[in-house]
């Protein structure tokens, strides 16, 4: 039989990322679906009668090697969450722990106006461009081995940046992460965050 599943991974800036559930509880860290991003949704073939924890083990092993097309995250690791049958399972140190979460049926959109601070801009491994733990856009790295705008300095990469809600920042090339941060410093953006109602 086939089962639908979703994989969620915690935002890169969250202190609980890659931590055990004991660590989360001991340090009173918040743990909610809004702290995560869905990185994949698909189906898996499983034998009849297998527990959800066993299915999670199967998915875990499957996503340690080559990733399917459309997968946006790193290999499944501690603190990641798998959703099966409307239930959420936390990848803990030695097992899967079911979380007391429910699938949100309604969401509220919150708009936040922020001024970008270069010290808070981070390049997440899944291609998200973050300001703190808020996604402000996306980034891609292209290997070029060319020269910079002056024609003097060899540069190995181009960084292509797309910023949400800023039409003039839809696909802009930069020669370094430092250049990205300097150019974005002081820019004002409006970010829409969806939360469970």
Taking residues 62-87, what's their average pLDDT? 89
SS3 call for 159: strand
CB atoms within 10 A of CB 68: 9
Quote the pLDDT of residue 144: 65
Q: Round to whole Å and give the CA distance between 174 and 191.
A: 23
- In this structure, are residues 123 and 157 in contact, taking their beta carbons and an 8 Å threshold? no
Q: Is a pLDDT exceeding 60 seen at residue 122?
A: yes
Taking residues 13-41, what's their average pLDDT? 88
Taking residues 139-160, what's their average pLDDT? 64
In degrees rounded to 5, what are phi and psi of residue 5? Answer: -150, 160
pTM, 2 dp: 0.54
Q: Round to whole Å and give the CA distance between 96 and 58.
A: 12
Residues 6+ apart with CB under 8 A from 100: none
pLDDT level of residue 68 (50, 70, 90 thresholds): confident
């Amino acid at each position: 039989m086939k089962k639908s599943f979703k994989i969620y991974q915690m935002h890169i800036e969250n202190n609980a990322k890659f931590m055990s559930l004991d660590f989360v509880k001991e340090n009173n860290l918040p743990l909610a679906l809004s702290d995560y991003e869905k990185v994949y949704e698909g189906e898996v073939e499983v034998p009849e009668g297998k527990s959800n924890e066993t299915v999670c083990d199967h998915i875990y092993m499957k996503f340690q090697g080559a990733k399917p097309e459309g997968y946006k995250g790193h290999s499944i690791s501690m603190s990641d969450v798998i959703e099966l049958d409307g239930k959420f399972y936390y990848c803990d140190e030695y097992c899967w722990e079911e979380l007391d979460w429910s699938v949100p049926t309604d969401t509220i959109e919150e708009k936040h106006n922020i001024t970008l601070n270069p010290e808070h801009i981070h390049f997440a491994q899944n291609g998200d461009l973050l300001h703190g733990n808020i996604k402000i856009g996306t980034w891609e790295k292209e290997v070029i081995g060319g020269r910079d705008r002056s024609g003097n300095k060899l540069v190995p990469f181009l960084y292509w940046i797309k910023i949400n809600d800023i039409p003039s920042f839809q696909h802009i090339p930069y020669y370094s992460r430092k250049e990205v941060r300097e150019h974005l410093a002081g820019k004002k953006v409006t970010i829409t965050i969806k939360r469970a109602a």
